[in-house]
Amino acid sequence: MSDGTMVEEGARSKRRPDWLRVKLPTGENYRKVREVVSGHSLHTICQSGNCPNMGECWGEGTATFMILGNVCTRSCGFCSVATGRPDAVDPFEPARVARSVELMGLKHCVITSVDRDDLSDGGAEIWVRTIKAIRRRCPGTTMETLIPDMKGDRDNLSAVFDAAPDVLSHNLETVRRLTREVRVQAKYDRSLEVLFLAKRSGLRTKSGIMLGMGESDKEVLEVMDDLRAVGTDVITLGQYLQPTKAHLQVQEFVHPDRFATFRDAGLEKGFRFVESGPLVRSSYHAERHVL
CATH code for the domain in which residue 178 is found: 3.20.20.70
Q: Is residue 4 part of a domain?
A: no
Whole-number pLDDT of residue 290: 83
Instruction: Look up residue 172 and give its DSSP letter.
Output: -
Close Cβ partners of 168 (under 8 Å, ≥ 6 residues apart): 144, 145, 147, 160, 161, 195, 198, 203, 204, 205, 206
Higher pLDDT, 221 or 13: 221
Q: Is residue 51 part of a domain?
A: yes
Most distant pair of Cα atoms in the chain: their distance: 54
Total domains, the chain: 1
Amino acid at 170: H
Q: Is residue 258 part of a domain?
A: yes
Report the pLDDT value the prediction gives residue 123, as an integer from 0 to 100.
97
What residues are paired with 143 via a beta bridge? Answer: 109
| Length of the chain as a residue count | 291
pLDDT at 190 over 70: yes
Which one, of 150, 161, 135, 130, lies nearest residue 66 by Cα? 130
Q: pLDDT tens digits for 105-157?
A: 788 889 999 999 999 999 999 999 999 999 999 999 999 999 999 999 999 99
Instruction: Look at residue 32 in the predicted model and tell me its pLDDT.
Output: 64
Q: What is the pTM of this model?
A: 0.86
Compute the distance between CA of residue 248 and CA of residue 267 in angstroms, rounded to an integer: 30
Asked whether the beta carbons of 46 and 63 are under 8 A apart, the reply is yes
> Is the residue at 224 inside a domain?
yes
Gyration radius of the chain's alpha carbons: 18
Torsion over CA: 270, 271, 272, 274 (sign):
negative
Domain membership of residue 1 (yes or no) is: no
Range of the domain at 120: 9-290
> Is there a domain that residue 48 lies in?
yes
Residue 2 inside a domain? The answer is no
Q: Is the pLDDT of residue 11 over 50?
A: no
Q: Is a pLDDT exceeding 70 seen at residue 13?
A: no
One-letter amino acid at 82 equals A
Over residues 240-286, the pLDDT tens digits come to: 988 888 889 999 999 999 999 999 999 999 999 999 999 898 777 67
In a domain, 253, yes or no: yes
Beta strands in 76-231 (DSSP E): 82-83, 108-113, 142-146, 167-169, 204-211
